[in-house]
């Protein structure tokens, strides 16, 4: 089911900047309409995506993010952080490349603020700096994914290294904690409101939202480990991953993904539309 879908993880030198690249190629698979749907969770990450072939439509689904008034399609699209999950459907066969960047890294590299881009997807040409646009055009013209990945490294690595930024860990929890420490030590002013304002400026989202995603990711991996062992006990998953109780786990999982924990677990195992979740297991 995953032969034409894969996840590229960055080299260590880019780990504090790039979270990963999701590569999706459905050409020749003859997927039915329901199999061409895509479910994505809420995320603090910044997204750049290229359509080598095909396009998709944003679906208006209760509990999910709201589609824009006009369908967005461009050679390169930019997506800001999302506080709600997203439901889309490919209009046919697609060949797509989605780059996921940590928001504070993106802001440091581009100078583009994220506060106006939460829960939005726009034509990247509307807001990227000139050097990024030139690189994005090179990515669009690349003949294959391997070339795009090399162009990505060649472009981002020297810019990231030039910042001299410390590299946080790969998991959201590590990054969120590093962000909190950085906010507390980077400037004068230590009130809770000042710290929250600083974190939101760097990440586009408040700390409570970042911590919710951190808990969800840890629970996601705990479920995968439990499935390989004695089975899933939702009360234990909740207790071990900083939820107040099982009901808290259920509420946050539904808000961030659109589904209850058990329904999400089942769908990830059985439905093509949940390919993005399977990539990270």
| pLDDT bucket at 202, cuts 50 / 70 / 90 | low
Residue matched to tokens 């998953």? 237
Res 198 pLDDT > 60: no
- Residue-averaged pLDDT of the chain: 86
pLDDT at residue 4, rounded to an integer? 83
In what side-by-side order are the strands of the sheet with 46-53? 5-8, 18-25, 95-101, 46-53, 76-79, 121-123
Say whether both 216 and 199 belong to one domain.
no
Same domain flag for 138 and 182:
no
Whether residues 48 and 63 fall in one domain: yes
Q: State residue 249's pLDDT score.
A: 96
Decide if 268 is inside a domain: no
pTM of the model: 0.85
Average pLDDT value for residue range 243-249: 96
pLDDT at 128: 94
Residue 58 has pLDDT above 60, yes or no: yes
Whether residue 257 sits in one domain with residue 226: yes
Of 81-90, 177-186, 197-206, 221-230, which gets the smallest average pLDDT?
177-186
Kindly list the distances between the CA atom of residue 90 and the CA atoms of 53, 75, 145, 263, in Å, as whole numbers in the listed order.
11, 15, 19, 23
- What pLDDT does residue 170 have? 43
**Are residues 240 and 197 both part of a single domain?**
no
Q: Are 172 and 44 in contact (CB under 8 A)?
A: yes
Residues 97 and 182 in one domain: no
Q: Has residue 271 been placed in a domain? A: no
Residue range of the domain that includes 179 = 172-203
Write down the pLDDT at residue 182: 46
Determine which of 41-45, 154-158, 166-170, 205-209 has the lowest per-residue pLDDT on average.
166-170
- Among 140-144, 153-157, 172-176, 204-208, which stretch is predicted with the lowest mean pLDDT? 172-176
Tell me, what's the pLDDT at 237?
95
Q: Given a cut of 70, is residue 201 above it in pLDDT?
A: no
Is 145 in the same domain as 222? no
Same domain, 46 and 155: yes
Domain count, the chain: 3
Place 171 in a pLDDT band, splitting at 50, 70 and 90.
Answer: very low
pLDDT at 129: 95
Q: Judge whether residue 69 has pLDDT over 60.
A: yes
pLDDT of residue 72: 66
- Kindly tell me if the per-residue pLDDT of 65 is higher than 70: yes
How would residue 140 be classed by pLDDT, with cut points 50, 70 and 90?
Answer: very high
pLDDT > 70? residue 173: no
Please report whether residue 273 resides in a domain: no
Q: Is residue 194 pLDDT above 60, yes or no?
A: no
């Amino acid at each position: 089911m995953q032969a034409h879908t894969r996840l590229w993880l960055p080299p260590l030198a880019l780990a504090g900047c790039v979270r990963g690249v999701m590569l999706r190629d459905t050409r020749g698979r003859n997927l039915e309409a329901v199999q061409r749907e895509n479910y994505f969770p809420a995320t603090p990450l910044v997204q750049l995506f290229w359509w080598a072939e095909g396009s998709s439509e944003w679906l208006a689904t209760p509990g999910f993010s709201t589609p824009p008034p006009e369908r967005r399609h461009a050679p390169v699209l930019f997506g800001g952080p999302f506080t709600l999950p997203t439901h889309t459907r490919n209009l046919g066969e697609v060949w797509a490349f989605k780059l996921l960047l940590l928001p504070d890294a993106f802001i440091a590299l581009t100078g583009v603020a994220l506060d106006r881009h939460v829960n939005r997807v726009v034509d990247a040409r509307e807001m990227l700096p000139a050097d990024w646009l030139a690189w994005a055009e090179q990515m669009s013209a690349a003949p294959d994914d391997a070339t795009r990945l090399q162009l990505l490294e060649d472009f981002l690595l020297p810019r990231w290294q030039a910042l001299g930024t410390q590299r946080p860990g790969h998991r959201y929890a590590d990054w969120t904690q590093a962000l909190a420490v950085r906010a507390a030590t980077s400037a004068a002013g230590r009130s809770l409101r000042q710290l929250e304002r600083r974190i939101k400026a760097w990440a586009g989202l408040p700390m409570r939202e970042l911590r919710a995603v951190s808990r969800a990711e840890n629970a996601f991996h705990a479920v995968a480990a439990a499935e390989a062992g004695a089975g899933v006990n939702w009360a234990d998953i909740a207790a071990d991953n900083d939820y107040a109780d099982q009901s808290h786990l259920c509420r946050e999982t539904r808000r961030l993904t659109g589904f209850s924990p058990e329904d999400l677990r089942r769908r990830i195992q059985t439905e093509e539309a949940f390919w993005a979740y399977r990539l990270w297991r």
